[in-house]
Amino acid sequence: MILESNKDFDIIFIQELPWSFIQSISSSSNEKGDSLVGASNHSNWVTFAKSPLNNNDSSRVILYINA
């Protein structure tokens, strides 16, 4: 909702962003697929965040740039 309604800004930083299930992706080790987890994406915004080091690591800040 923030990305859709804030068209006056070129850059948005979000702290303590929510990480959620996006979809299941193909896996050679799991017939049901592996979970793809991440932050919200929007077609009008380019996303920058730190890559997680392991399953318990997630970025605490994300940067969105209006494309």
9-63 pLDDT tens trace: 889 888 877 677 778 888 888 888 888 777 777 888 898 888 777 767 767 888 8
- Residue 37 identity: V
Asked whether 19 and 39 are in contact (CB, 8 A), the reply is: yes
Distance CA 32, CA 18 (A): 24
Q: What is the pTM of this model?
A: 0.61
Distance CA 46, CA 66 (A): 6
